[in-house]
Structure 1
Amino acid sequence: MKGGGDNGIVRPVIEQDEIKNRIFDRRLYGRLLHYLKPYIAGVIGSFLIVMVVSLAELVQPLIQRRAIDDYIVSDKNIAVFQDETTANSFLNKYSYLNLKRLTYEGRYFVILNSADLNKINQQDILEFKNKGIIGEEKVFLIVDKPENIQILNKYLPEDQHPKGGKEGFKGWFRVGDGQIAISREQLNKVPKSERFQLRNEAANKLIWLALAFLIISIIRFIAGYFQVIITTIFSQKAMNDLRHDAFAHLQKMPVKFFDVNPVGRLVTRVTNDIRAIDEMLSSGVITIIQDIIMIIAIVVLMLLLNWKLALVSFAILPGVVWVIVIFRKRTRPVYREVRKHLAAVNATLNEHISGQKIIKLFNQYKRKREEFARINQEYYNASMKQMKLFAFFRPIIHVSSQIAVALLIWYGGGQILRNAITIGLLMAFTQYISKLFQPIDDFSEKFNVLQGALAGAERIFDLMELDPEDYREHLKTGIRLQGAIEFKNVWLAYNPDEWVLKDVSFKIEPGEKIALVGHTGSGKTSIVNLILGMYPYQKGNILLDGKPLESYAVEDIRKNVGIVQQDVFIFSGNIRDNIALNNKQLSKEQIIQVAKYVNADKFISKLPLGYDEPVMERGATLSTGQRQLIAFARVLAYDPAIFILDEATSNIDTETELLIQDALQKIMHNRTSIVIAHRLSTIQNSDRIIVLHKGVIVEEGSHFELLEKKGLYYDLYRLQYT
């Protein structure tokens, strides 16, 4: 299986989680959107709900404004025209205001609110005030009902000839359309209890406005609830897909990749980094969209309500935008560094917890504690740098919002004193300013989530962009091999110019039993790895049943090769699952038969739950011999054409080794077998022994033939038995 670039040499790729000085590009966003595409209905639904919530947010201050200006504090002036001509002239001149003329007993009335007065030529207003047409005082409008007339007559005279201007109104007067006008000054002369009765109509309107405000609040609550539920559902599904794809991609990576990348860093990518993306999708992206919509809508609405007041309120925004830009630039490398150091912490934890026994045996806990303390301190420093940025940004935004409110009070208050705007409008602007700065104020936290997620996405997709091992699935046939193996001038290097195998050639016939012998590092296990397709080789050819290794699907090769290694990996679960490895075709009886065949049933049957006995991760509750017997049963359960024993009996006691030797004779019958062993007693009955030294075959023959040559094999044998 010759490799691709670098002459087949696989290089380390993410071992240090290096920080990249590039901006998150569109491709990154595109890949994230790819995982949301199947759940686009949920995304659209969430977006529509966000629109409903945003609309509710915008309407509520307008309801407050109307309640204050129309029913609590009047902002209305009244123009009294004594003749129709003057009234019509005024209405025609300002026809764009759509003012309504009211008539009562030969007099003509036009009701003007503060917004209308701001749009009328100030020279005309001054002229009308001097002529007594427009009154200086604000008036309330009361329903013309007998009970109201009775109260008014009790305390105030009816003003038969009302005039405004400097004289003011003397009492109350009818303006037509079933309404009575009365100034605030005159209304205050009526006792409180009866004054409320006069304004009963306004009180009823306030109830309806309050009810509308309450209904909108309930709608906001319900919409917000469903928005969170829908967003969480599609984000969790999208991240479930991403997590599955990331794990599946890891499963397809070549073995060399795992040799040079710590497990903790890989775990961080599939867990913490994806969790950060999930947090962004479930609580960041949609709310950011909502915030953007709200900011644009509020700015537009404020300009429409009163552009001068709006511009005063926005005076602080350029500085806020500048702070956001600076914050955004400085946080990118910080968030990447936090992720980098978190991965280092996880990698160190994984390594130290896995090697805890060795750490204790060699009294290394103090040094390892110091090592972890250093890595943990680096993570702490990076996190504190992140927090300092956060702590600097948020107070600035909060103070900016308060400055905007102060400007609004200063300018808006002066406008109220000039009767240019109303109290209700000022209060609405105050509400809108708070709503405008609230998303900006929360931006630091949301940006925290966003940057963390994008940093995580960058690392995840960098991992997924690495070329996986070519499993050649298009060549899959499910073939059963005969077991012939041939190496032709094979060269292998794990690192450039560091040859592990040098021009190795040999042939194994189907059913032949071969042993590989040599000092540690001579290349025995490397030969096995090449047969399994675990590593790419650089030169030569490997044939299985006379066909190149590359002409088989990797899955077909590995189904035909069973291997028992010295370090047996036992999965969490029970004994049966570790033998069957999720092979549904194996019945319980077949599993027991296989276990008996390799003498594993003797210890399994003594366990409290037998084959259902739970085992801990890596088989911590089992002895080395028991784990290796389970491994023998696991291999035989799949009935491979080629059997490989990689120094699997080197750590087994004599009694267990006798049981295994008995099983090996049965296992190797009519099956191509390759045995790697330092203990030469396990290979004396091999058909042929291949002796390797520094990656080169130096001797080949049977046990007795090699002893007669008195070469390297003879020296190894003499060292063990003399």
Structure 2
Amino acid sequence: MNKETKSGQIFDLPTLRRLYVFVRPYQKQFYLLIGIIMLNALLAPLTPLLIKYTIDTPIANGDYAQLTVMLVLMIIVTIVQGVAQFWNTYMSGWLGQYIIRDIRVQLYQKIIGLRLKFFDQTPIGRLVTRTISDVETLSNVFSDGMAAIAGDILQLTLIIGVMFYTDWKLSIISLSMIPLMLFCTYVFKEKIKDSFNEVRAAVSNLNSFVQEHLTGMSIVQIFSSEDTEYRKFQEINEVHRDANIRSILYYSIYYPVADVIAAAGTGLVVWYGSKQILNSEVTFGTVTAFVMFINLFFRPIRQLADRFNTLQMGIVSTDRILKLLDSDEYTVNEGTFAPDTVRGKVEFKNVWFAYNEEEYVLKDISFNVDEGKTIALVGATGAGKSSIINLLTRFYDINKGRILVDDIDVHDYELNALRKHVGVVLQDVFLFSDTIENNIRLGDFSITHDKIVEAAKLVGVHDFIERLPGGYKYNVMERGSTLSVGQRQLISFVRAMVHEPKIIVLDEATSSVDSETEELIQKAIEKLMKGRTAIVIAHRLSTIQEANKIIVVDKGQIMEEGNHEQLLEKDGFYANLYRMQYKEVLKVG
């Protein structure tokens, strides 16, 4: 069975026990809710008993004074029931919302710490479903789940006890329709469970499809695939619609059938009770009470099917959430070394790495970068250059070998401390839907506005920012869509500078910009690299000729290394790349 449509056990004790961990901070409120539910169950059979007594005694005897007392007493009981029901509804909702808030925060905290490998293998839409829809389902577990089921069962037990205590013959007649009701309820529960599972799977598929296609909308439009993708969306949406319609159909059948069964039970009581009244074997008040008992009895039975399915779906959602929280793809941060600064020496020793087991993209990579020096990594697309950077920042962990910063293994560093000292400027710049200033600061409020302006002036982007509406407060929208590629690149450069890392990584930092913007960046690079270790990945060999060392990577292996002149003299991989680019420049010229 697909893990998106898996059914949970209603009383999955290990899962419920894990769920109770989230309840623990709110134990007082939880036990108060249990107490209110028990009070509601105790009050349920009280009104029919009071009506029975009122009919059989004050009314039968014409005692208007006692009748007034009974009416006042029934009003008081009704008010108490109303107040108890208010607190039941409010407390269950309050508890559910606080718990799902805590779960959602913990889940998001987990997600942002997962390895990139996890995101490579998991659709983002599915994670959205986990964080939003699955967590929301849990709130129903507390409002209509376990506690409500316990209250319904307690209410049914008390009503049955009171009924048999009052008149066992009428009780048997009243409960004669219960087997049929239970059978219908069971069939409904199974059917609605299957449709709910289908709905959950359809929601997850919808989230994944919409998220992926909105993100890749430019590709859809470039290749004129709007109609094709529209038809795909229609198909997924129709599955979602059909699953919901099936659940609606089951509700439409079940509730009228349940009402007919309850009405049949009431009819039997009235028929049999009338004969008993005529034979003076029971009182009119007793029959009236039993009619009310039947309504009180069948109502929670009708609700139990819904509540069981709510609990079951909650268990499924909880299981999915717990699996994500327990994921072993979490970036293991066993290190504790957190220096305030580093010198910037970097060394790779016999490093092997594979995204998939045994399919190595890096093979026995060894090189070192002395503090304050610059190396450049060059090679064809897919050669493994970016993978080297991903390993240095521990976005992925190596399979074999060692990576050292200042002669200390990167696994010994506290992860945030390591990344604090490594600044990365990527080719594909990501900006959040926020102000330019906040995209530069990224939550580090120790970085002042003046410092940001100073870095922007250094890069040469200050005047451009000031011309925008609101200046540094300008909202760049999602992924920085209101800015050009070059502008986003410059802002990412400012972002790297203000955090003052000791090691700078430029991953194709100038490959997507025009000549004028590239010139601005090159000037800023010279100032930024001063006194810092720099690792530069570039397609344009003209941008890295001044590097202290150039490493040529091909198919995950180091083929050559040396400075620009040395590599040209070798007339190997680097010389071929250089000649190819030189010819392209001449053609363009």
Which bracket does the TM-score occupy, shorter chain normalised?
over 0.9
* Cα distance change of structure 1 residues 414 and 352 upon mapping to structure 2, 3 Å threshold: same
Matches within 5 A, 1:333-348: 333-348=194-209
1:333: Cα distance to partner?
4.6
The one of 544, 554, 568 aligned to 2:405: 544
8 Å contact 2:376–2:537 — kept in the other structure?
A: yes
- Looking at structure 2, the residues matched to 379 and 503 of structure 1 have their Cα atoms a distance apart, in angstroms, of 50
Could you say which structure has the larger radius of gyration? 1
- Looking at structure 2, the residues matched to 661 and 331 of structure 1 have their Cα atoms a distance apart, in angstroms, of 64
Residues 597-625 of structure 1, C-alpha deviations (whole Å, 9 max, x = no match):
22221211212211122221211111111
Residues 257-307 of structure 1, C-alpha deviations (whole Å, 9 max, x = no match):
011111111011010111111122134444323212211110111010011
8 Å contact 2:206–2:236 — kept in the other structure?
A: yes
Which structure 2 segments of 5+ residues have no match?
584-589
Secondary structure of 1:303's aligned partner? helix
- Looking at structure 1, the residues matched to 147 and 7 of structure 2 have their Cα atoms a distance apart, in angstroms, of 28
Is 1:212 aligned to residue 69 of structure 2?
no
Counterpart residue number, 1:124: none
Which structure 1 segments of 5+ residues have no match?
1-13, 75-139, 141-198
Is 1:66 aligned to residue 53 of structure 2?
yes
Is 1:228 aligned to residue 63 of structure 2?
no
Output the TM-score relative to the length of structure 1: 0.77
| Letter in structure 2 aligned against 1:43 | F
Counterpart residue number, 1:501: 362
The percent identity for this pair of structures is 37
8 Å contact 1:643–1:673 — kept in the other structure?
A: yes
Matches within 5 A, 1:573-584: 573-584=434-445
| Letter in structure 2 aligned against 1:521 | G
Matches within 5 A, 1:80-159: 140=61
8 Å contact 1:336–1:455 — kept in the other structure?
A: no
Matches within 5 A, 1:571-720: 571-720=432-581
8 Å contact 1:249–1:468 — kept in the other structure?
A: no
1:363: Cα distance to partner?
0.8
Residues 14-60 of structure 1, C-alpha deviations (whole Å, 9 max, x = no match):
9x744446635211111221111111111122222223333332211
- Looking at structure 1, the residues matched to 479 and 54 of structure 2 have their Cα atoms a distance apart, in angstroms, of 71
- Looking at structure 2, the residues matched to 283 and 450 of structure 1 have their Cα atoms a distance apart, in angstroms, of 8
Counterpart residue number, 1:251: 112
- Looking at structure 1, the residues matched to 194 and 415 of structure 2 have their Cα atoms a distance apart, in angstroms, of 41
Secondary structure of 2:366's aligned partner? strand
Counterpart residue number, 2:9: 23
Secondary structure of 1:42's aligned partner? helix
The one of 25, 38, 49 aligned to 1:51: 38
1:337: Cα distance to partner?
3.2
Stretch moving more, 395-404 or 631-640: 395-404
- Looking at structure 2, the residues matched to 470 and 360 of structure 1 have their Cα atoms a distance apart, in angstroms, of 37
Residues 386-417 of structure 1, C-alpha deviations (whole Å, 9 max, x = no match):
34444443333323212221221222222112
Matches within 5 A, 1:518-529: 518-529=379-390
Is 1:516 aligned to residue 377 of structure 2?
yes
- Looking at structure 2, the residues matched to 560 and 367 of structure 1 have their Cα atoms a distance apart, in angstroms, of 47
Stretch moving more, 407-416 or 628-637: 407-416
| Letter in structure 2 aligned against 1:27 | P
Counterpart residue number, 2:23: 36
The one of 475, 481, 484 aligned to 2:336: 475
- Looking at structure 1, the residues matched to 356 and 252 of structure 2 have their Cα atoms a distance apart, in angstroms, of 47
1:631: Cα distance to partner?
0.8
- Looking at structure 2, the residues matched to 384 and 699 of structure 1 have their Cα atoms a distance apart, in angstroms, of 65
The one of 259, 263, 266 aligned to 2:127: 266
Output the TM-score relative to the length of structure 2: 0.94
Is 1:306 aligned to residue 167 of structure 2?
yes
Residues 505-562 of structure 1, C-alpha deviations (whole Å, 9 max, x = no match):
1111111111111111100000000101111221222222112222222112111100
Residues 310-359 of structure 1, C-alpha deviations (whole Å, 9 max, x = no match):
11211222233334444444554543332122111001111111122221
- Looking at structure 2, the residues matched to 62 and 18 of structure 1 have their Cα atoms a distance apart, in angstroms, of 49
Counterpart residue number, 1:321: 182
* Cα distance change of structure 1 residues 41 and 320 upon mapping to structure 2, 3 Å threshold: same
Secondary structure of 2:467's aligned partner? coil
1:253: Cα distance to partner?
1.2
1:667: Cα distance to partner?
0.8
Secondary structure of 1:673's aligned partner? strand
8 Å contact 2:383–2:553 — kept in the other structure?
A: yes
| Letter in structure 1 aligned against 2:88 | Q
8 Å contact 1:331–1:451 — kept in the other structure?
A: no
- Looking at structure 1, the residues matched to 488 and 308 of structure 2 have their Cα atoms a distance apart, in angstroms, of 50
Secondary structure of 1:644's aligned partner? strand
- Looking at structure 1, the residues matched to 249 and 575 of structure 2 have their Cα atoms a distance apart, in angstroms, of 69
Is 1:423 aligned to residue 410 of structure 2?
no
The one of 394, 404, 407 aligned to 1:533: 394
- Looking at structure 2, the residues matched to 67 and 474 of structure 1 have their Cα atoms a distance apart, in angstroms, of 76
Q: Which runs of 4+ in 1 moved over 6 A?
A: none
8 Å contact 1:339–1:456 — kept in the other structure?
A: no
**Bigger fraction of residues in helix:** 2
8 Å contact 1:564–1:646 — kept in the other structure?
A: yes
1:492: Cα distance to partner?
1.1
Is 1:237 aligned to residue 98 of structure 2?
yes
Stretch moving more, 404-413 or 362-371: 404-413
Stretch moving more, 634-643 or 372-381: 372-381
| Letter in structure 2 aligned against 1:710 | D
* Cα distance change of structure 1 residues 689 and 535 upon mapping to structure 2, 3 Å threshold: same
Residues 424-452 of structure 1, C-alpha deviations (whole Å, 9 max, x = no match):
10010010110000011223333343233
- Looking at structure 1, the residues matched to 111 and 240 of structure 2 have their Cα atoms a distance apart, in angstroms, of 26
Secondary structure of 1:573's aligned partner? coil
Residues 204-255 of structure 1, C-alpha deviations (whole Å, 9 max, x = no match):
3222222222222222222222222222222211111111111111122111
- Looking at structure 2, the residues matched to 719 and 427 of structure 1 have their Cα atoms a distance apart, in angstroms, of 98
8 Å contact 2:504–2:534 — kept in the other structure?
A: yes
Counterpart residue number, 1:277: 138
